[in-house]
Amino acid sequence: MHKTTPHDRRGFLKAAGASLAVTAGPALAGGELPKKSAAGMSAAEMSELTAVEALAAFERGALTSEAYVHALLARADALHSLNSWITLNAAGALKAARAVDAARARGNKLGPLAGLPLYIKDNIDTQGIRTTAGTPALKDSVPKKNAPVLEPLLRAGAIVLAKANLHELAFGSTSSNTAFGFVKNPYDTTRIPGGSSGGTASGIAARIAPAGLGTDTGASVRHPASFCGLVGLRPSVGNGGAERRYPGEGIVPISRTRDTPGPMARTVADVVLLDAVVTGEPTHPLTSAKLAGLRLGLPHAYFWENLDLEVEAVMNTAVRKLREAGVVFVEADLQGVPELNERVSMPVALYEFYRRDLTAYLKEEGLRLTLDEVIAQVQSPDVKGIFDIAKAMPKAAYDEAIQVHRPKLIALYKDYFAKHAVEGVLFPTCPIAPPPIDPAFTGKVEINGVPQPGGPAALFQVLIRNVDPGSNAGIPGLAQPAGMTAGGLPVGLEIDGPLGSDRRLLAIGLAIEQLLGKPPAPRL
């Protein structure tokens, strides 16, 4: 087995039996991809297929999984400078694709995702393929089994194409990773893709894969979805147990109270499909909601304050179009959200990471590493700076967050939905458009020319501001494109809904997508 990083890629492994091959070299194992597939579809046409479209092409014999995987691997090779992936499963993906094609040719019954390649965030365990969490201490960690969230996707025939780059240990919102390379936004490679699931978002937006999985503690699926013109779902978490929609085991954790995996794709229909497979729900197309008469909360205070003027313009246009389509907006604020969220967010995340959850993961995986040994090898300066705060987080603050403030935050949202008879709250996913990459990790950010407070944490606080409260309340959130800035950067809107309303949110998302349209592909 050979492993490389974005700093050390020279060529695909040609060993047919290898479980792992990684590269950014000029040619794929087994030779160059023909310009046209056997069915006449070009590589460029293949890369534009959504997950639903690719699966339909397989079904009607217009495309083989092997040709599709070849095309996407070639694109990953050509676009390696985006740093969207840490490990390409080239040989393994091609082997799996050939097996699916052979089974299809024999007339075997296949799963609903048979032959579909996916981008999987590299903190989600993959059997036989390393799971690094973007940090040096885990660079050689190869899990013995898949994360439970991945298993149903693989049983349905999906293929792991790549393990996606991320903010180191998922502890940040830029995906600027000193250890494995800074992830770039395909819409403007001088800008961040968001984080921490920035590699997954960048790869899907760049048409290297049609869909994939990220993880979300406070923003990490929806925020990069917003910055890269994608759809991202944070599923219901609640208090865990039966309220948790997706299993959280087998994932390098920050906080198991808050963490959840979530699907990402270029269309709502693709997210619906992945969500159905993970949860075991029917995979037939979900009927979109009727916008006429749909009631949504519009909480101006906090969520709509201090927005970048271009983001505000795009969002105002989206709201106007939704009103014209019959959506009823209830302009009511979520009183007390900022204060409650502050008392929950960092106390829960930092205490659980340092005192409980990462140590538990290391033991579960049989890794002969301690928490402090992992931390000692962290390379990204912004992540290093978190650990002294985490180490000093008092248990009293954590206990109060879990026992007092989080229940109050949950009750606040529940009461809001009931009192105003709304199915969700709508707001800009992020107050700003994707900012430039900051190689010095200053954390500085301006909104409309005004420097924001917070010192080195200023950018982080701005980026997670709107999406963090719903995360801490454990409710589902769906982020999707709202439009583009004048400079061609994606802007996302989000709807957070009541606990357990995930499928309803997706139905609403389908209707919104039909109204607002989808963003153009990035020019790469």
Whether 145 is catalytic:
no
Residues 2-29 as b or e (16 or more Cβ within 10 Å = b): ebbbbeebebbbeeeebebbbbbeeebb
Q: What is the 8-class DSSP label of residue 163?
A: E
- Decide the pairing of beta strands 181-182 and 211-216: unpaired
Q: CA neighbours within 13 Å on the CB side: how many for 162?
A: 36
Residue 391 bears catalytic tag: no
User: What is the distance between the alpha carbons of residues 315 and 323, in angstroms, rounded to a whole number?
Assistant: 12
Cα(220)–Cα(195) distance, rounded to whole angstroms?
5
Beta bridge partners of 36: 42
Spell out the residues 6+ positions from residue 325 whose beta carbon is closer than 8 angstroms to its own. Answer: 291, 292, 515
Cβ-proximal residues to 20 (8 Å cutoff; 6+ apart), any chain: 1, 2, 3, 13, 87, 89, 90, 91, 92, 128, 129, 130
Which residues make beta-bridge pairs with 484? 490
Question: Up-side HSE of residue 372: CA atoms within 13 Å toward CB?
Answer: 2
- What secondary structure does DSSP assign to 175-221, as a single string? -EETTTEE--BTTBTTB---SSSHHHHHHHHTTS-SEEEEEESSSTT
Let me know if 139 is a catalytic residue: no
> Pick the catalytic residue: 220, 226, 345, 380?
220
Cα gap 320→501, rounded to integer Å: 25
**Which of the following is catalytic: 47, 65, 121, 175?**
121
Does residue 222 contact residue 198 with C-beta atoms inside 8 Å? no
Phi and psi at 445, nearest 5°, equal -155, 145
Dist. CA 510–CA 76, nearest whole Å = 29
Active-site residue identified among 175, 196, 226, 501: 196
In whole angstroms, give the CA distance from residue 195 to residue 84: 12
The closest of 254, 83, 79, 81 to 176, measured between CA atoms, is: 83
List for the chain the helix, strand, coil content (%; round to 5).
Answer: 40, 15, 45
List active site positions. 121, 196, 220
